[in-house]
Amino acid sequence: MGFPATRMRRLRRTPALRGLVRETQLRAADFVLPLFVEEGLATPTPIDAMPGVARQPLAGAVEEAIEAQALGISGVLLFGIPREKDEQGSGAWDDDGIVQQATRAIHEACPGLIVITDLCLCEYTSHGHCGLLDEDGSVRNDATLELLARAAVSQARAGADLIAPSDMMDGRVGAIREALDEDGFEETPIMAYSAKFASAFYGPFREAADSSPAHGDRRGYQMDPANAREALRETLLDIDEGADLVMVKPALPYLDVVARLREATGLPLAAYNVSGEYAMVKAAALAGWLDERSAVLETLTAIRRAGADIVITYHAKDAARWLQET
C-alpha cells in the first residue's frame, strides 16, 4: 500500500508520537566515561585537542567519578600515566601504580560506580608500543602475554570491576582469564577491545596519555581499517578465550562492524567513541559550525542504533546533563 493510504509523516507529527515510536533510547546509564589519571600531577592539565578533558591528579579523577555517578553514568574507564616509563612497562603491574591507586580511591568515594581498567602497556613503556620489543623493533606477542596477565591480576587486586585489554596481542584474553582465575579472581569479567582498528582517530589520546610509539606504528597488531570480516573473526576468538563483553573501536567510522557483531553475538557489546571523534565535534562546535548538543546526542544515538549496548565516550557528562533536560 503506497501513498496516499500510507503516509509516513502521520507518526512524526508531534513529539509525543515520535517518542512513542522511537526505536532507540539513550540513557546516561549506557555511558562509560574515560579518565586519564597521572601520577604526581598537582592540578588538572588540559589536553589541547580535547577541549573539556584534562589529565587528572588522583583527587581530580575521584572528583570526576563522583560527578559522573551523580549524573547516572554507569562507569569510568581508567587510563594511567605513570611518572616513570621503562622498556617493559613495569608500571602497569605495580600494585601501588596510579591506576591501582585510582581504582581503590574511586571505589571508596563512589560505591556502586563501575571501575573499568584499561589494560595495555603503551602508557607504561618508554618506546610507546603495546608490548615487549624484539631487537628489530617489532612487538613480541607471547612474551607480552605474561606481562599483561600480571597487570590484569594487579588491577583485579586493586578492585577493578572489569578488566579491559586494549593491546591486540593474540591470545591475551585467554592468558588474562587464566591468570585471573589462578589468583582467585574468577568473578572478574573481561571486556575485550576485540575489533580495535589501527586508527588515525586515536591521535588526541596519544597526546593525552603520552603514548605515541617512538618509532613505527601499531599496524603490526591493530586491525586494518579495511577489514570487517576479520573483525568478526577476532571477536569470535576473544569470546572463545573467555571475553564477557566485547568492543568495537573507534565507533563512528565502524558502525557497520558494530551492526555485524550485534547480529553475530549475543554478548554485551561496547563501542568506543574515541578521542579523535570527540575532537572533531568539539572543534566544529567551537568554531560555531555545528550545534554541539544535537550533534553529540545524534552521534551517541547512532552508536546505540547500530547495536552497541554500552557507549564509551568523553561526551558522557555533557550528554547525561542534556538528557536530564529533555
- For residue 162, list its beta bridge partners: 116
Residue pointed to by grid coordinates 552508536: 303
Number of H-type helices and E-type strands within the chain: 11, 10
Q: Which residue, 166 or 235, has its beta carbon nearer to ligand PBG?
A: 166
Binding residues for ligand PBG, rule: CB under 6 A, are 118, 120, 122, 130, 166, 202, 205-206, 218, 274-275
Helix (H) or strand (E) holding 195: strand 191-196
CA distances from 34 to 148, 164, 296 (A): 20, 12, 16
As given in the structure block, the three cell numbers for residue 224 are 586494518
| CB closer to ligand PBG out of 165 and 174 | 165
Closest CA to 138 of 216, 70, 35: 216
The nearest distance, CB 275 to ligand PBG, in angstroms, is 3
With respect to ligand PBG, which residue has the nearer C-beta, 182 or 224?
Answer: 224
Residue at shortest CB range from ligand PBG: 205
Q: 85 an active-site residue? A: no
Q: Return the number of the residue (26 or 271) whose C-beta is nearest ligand PBG.
A: 271
CB of 179: closest distance to ligand PBG in angstroms?
A: 19
Closest distance of CB 9 from ligand PBG, Å: 39
Per-position DSSP letters for 103-114, written without gaps between them = HHHHHHHSTT-E
CB of 72 to ligand PBG, least distance (A): 22
Q: Is 317 one of the annotated active-site residues of the chain?
A: no
Residues 6 or more apart whose CB falls under 8 angstroms from that of 219 comprise 198
- Catalytic-role residue among 85, 196, 282, 317: 196
Residues labelled catalytic: 196, 249
